[in-house]
Amino acid sequence: AVQKTLIDVVRSTPGITLFEHHTLVDVITSRKLGLAGQRCLGLYALDKATDEVVTFRAPQTILATGGAGKVYLYTTNPDTATGDGIAAAWRAGCRVGNMEFIQFHPTGLYHPHAKSFLISEAVRGEGGKLLLPDGTRFMPEHDPRAELAPRDVVARAIDYEMKRHGLECVHLDISHQSPEFLQEHFPNILAHCANLGIDITKEPIPVVPTAHFTCGGVLTDLSGRTDLPGLYAVGEVACTGLHGANRLASNSLLECMVFARAAAQHIAQAPRVQIPALPRWDDSRVTDADESVVISHNWDELRRFMWDYVGIVRTNKRLERAAHRISLLWAEIDEFYAHFHITRDLLELRNLVQVAELIVRSAQLRRESRGLHYSRDYPQLAAPAAPTILVPPVTH
């Protein structure tokens, strides 16, 4: 309802021009153009319809690009959650914070030929039991609250059992409830599973933990301002400090509303800034890619090793392996970006690898287990609590 209302208002407001199906390429800064000072001047975006890069010139720019759930193999996020705003802001010289804190929902629908679908925690609240493929219940071994333990505990337990037994998923059984009960309480889950051939009134639901929310992001103040004058960040792309090490349910919606209003009010009161003419995107020295399979292969490889090494449970060795793989991917992606015409897939892969690097670096710096970051090498909580802040090199 919120999204529909917002979209309707945007479309009906004469002063707003809507550019749909555009992908962020990069933020344009005065430093990148060799001008004095350092501020945001606008951005480059790829028009999906024409495959051309469009230049947007603006005295004030707001990033509202969402999180980076697609960096993982399983996620509840839409396909566009590729960390575009986080990566672009980092390249523009903005600090990021708390990137190690990735919230995983314990039960996303697992299906080899369908996107992950959220299986509500209310299913466990209504008596749903988590089972291994042989029907063995495992949650009581991990926590006295069993299936009613907090989502992070449940997600870690599922991850442990999957890695221990080499499983692709576990099962969530709610079939003890009547079909009428399930239709009344979980109509969407019942229908979605039925469309995939799963009758939850008679059989368990295959589930897997899924990346759900990026608690870290581009550092902002209470007005949504980033380190770069003229650039704001609102929503999941931002790190406002509101979520700390773990997000409370629905706080992210409130964050969007509060900080969007704060950013708009600050922009309305800001003095007018003259923005110089900006150069068009220069693609005169690149050609069409001859092997796009490299992009799809690297995309799949990144999401798989991030899931295996930088997921719910982490170790120093796993993080080192991930960092090494990321460095190898960077070499191939940099070559592609420098020599071939950019595509949406290339842009999103480039941004995902950048975000993956930030997640790994942040996780390596946090030598404790806190909130959404759990390390087997540092299982205890350290004091005092402090954010993890990364500062980009000046060369960006």
Catalytic residue among 39, 124, 151, 314: 151
Six token digits for residue 63: 């990033």
Whether 170 and 208 have beta carbons less than 8 Å apart is answered as: yes
Find the angle CA(135)-CA(138)-CA(143) to the nearest 5 degrees.
160
Please measure the distance between the N-terminal and C-terminal CA atoms of the chain and give it in whole angstroms. 40
What CA–CA distances, in Å, run from 116 to 105, 168, 210, 330?
11, 13, 8, 28
The CATH T-level fold of domain 293-390 is: Methane Monooxygenase Hydroxylase; Chain G, domain 1 (1.20.58)
Question: Structurally, what CATH architecture does the domain formed by 108-209 represent?
Answer: Alpha-Beta Complex (3.90)
Q: Which regions in the chain score pLDDT beneath 70? A: 395-396
What pLDDT shows up at residue 329?
A: 95
Tell me the three state secondary structure of residue 323: helix
DSSP one-letter code for 81: -
Query: CA-CA distance, 219 to 217, in Å (whole number)?
Result: 6
Just give the CATH number of 2-102+212-269: 3.50.50.60
CB atoms within 10 A of CB 276: 10
333: nearest Cα among 287, 297, 364: 297
Ordered by start, the domain boundaries in the chain are 2-102+212-269, 108-209, 293-390
Q: Please give the structure tokens belonging to residue 40.
A: 């945001």
Q: Enter the tokens of residue 238.
A: 């931002």
Is there a contact between 45 and 19 (Cβ–Cβ < 8 Å)? yes
Determine the pLDDT at residue 396.
Answer: 42
2-102+212-269 and 293-390 in the same fold:
no
* Tokens linked to 78: 């839409």
Instruction: Tell me what pLDDT residue 183 has.
Output: 97
Annotation says 376 is catalytic: no
